């Protein structure tokens, strides 16, 4: 009889633990999209890997958590912040987003990086052409730190 009580108690404990991480996951996802990796990292200290795998599997199956939605949100947000593609690729890889998803979400922005680099540069430095190498190098470093590469700003030197 005590074995049955232990089993019932264990089942109740697992159910309580599962419900706790489920509530935590819903709370996180209600605030903003999270990648699977990010969500798993935040839930890891709260429960066993087996329970977390089960929960995340169900969230993905019900389309409550989606790496595609997360990547689209991140791309849109970073583009609007004036961040370049290199910074975005890095952030997506940090969140372990599949390369197919990365290509898919970056495609709509392909033609806009050069214009964005120009806008970011003009906001910081104005529209005056650059007339010396030292100033060009300073502006180039700024754009590189924002995640742009040389092909996005190679023509701004008046």
**How far, CA to CA in Å, does 92 sit from each of 12, 67, 87, 88, 139?**
38, 10, 9, 6, 26
Is residue 1's pLDDT more than 50?
no
> At 110, phi and psi to the nearest 5?
-50, -45
- Give mean pLDDT, residues 47-72: 96
CA angle 136, 139, 145 (to 5 degrees): 135
In this predicted structure, the answer to whether residue 57 has a pLDDT above a threshold of 80 is yes
pTM above 0.85, yes or no: yes
Q: Note the pLDDT tens digit of each residue in 71-113.
A: 999 999 999 999 999 999 999 999 999 999 999 999 999 999 9
pLDDT at 2 over 90: no
Other Cβ atoms within 10 Å of 113 Cβ, number: 21
One DSSP character per residue, 36-76 reads HHHHHHHHGGGS-HHHHHHHHHHHHHTTSS-HHHHHHHHHH
Task: Identify the pLDDT of residue 4.
Answer: 65
Q: Residue 3: pLDDT band by 50, 70, 90 thresholds?
A: low
Could you tell me if 53 and 90 are in contact, meaning their C-beta atoms sit under 8 angstroms apart? no
């Amino acid at each position: 009889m005590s074995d049955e009580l232990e089993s019932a108690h264990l089942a109740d404990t697992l159910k309580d633990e599962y419900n706790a991480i489920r509530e935590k996951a819903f709370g996180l996802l209600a605030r903003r999209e999270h990648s699977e990796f990010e969500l798993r990292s935040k839930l890891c200290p709260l429960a066993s890997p087996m329970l977390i795998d089960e929960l995340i599997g169900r969230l993905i199956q019900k389309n409550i958590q989606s790496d595609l939605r997360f990547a689209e949100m991140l791309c849109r947000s970073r583009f609007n912040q004036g961040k370049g593609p290199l910074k975005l690729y890095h952030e997506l890889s940090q969140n372990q987003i599949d390369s197919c998803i990365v290509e898919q979400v970056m495609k709509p922005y392909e033609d806009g990086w050069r214009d964005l680099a120009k806008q970011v540069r003009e906001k910081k430095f104005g529209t005056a052409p650059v007339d010396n190498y030292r100033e060009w190098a300073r502006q180039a470093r700024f754009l590189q730190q924002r995640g742009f590469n040389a092909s996005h700003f190679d023509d701004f030197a008046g």
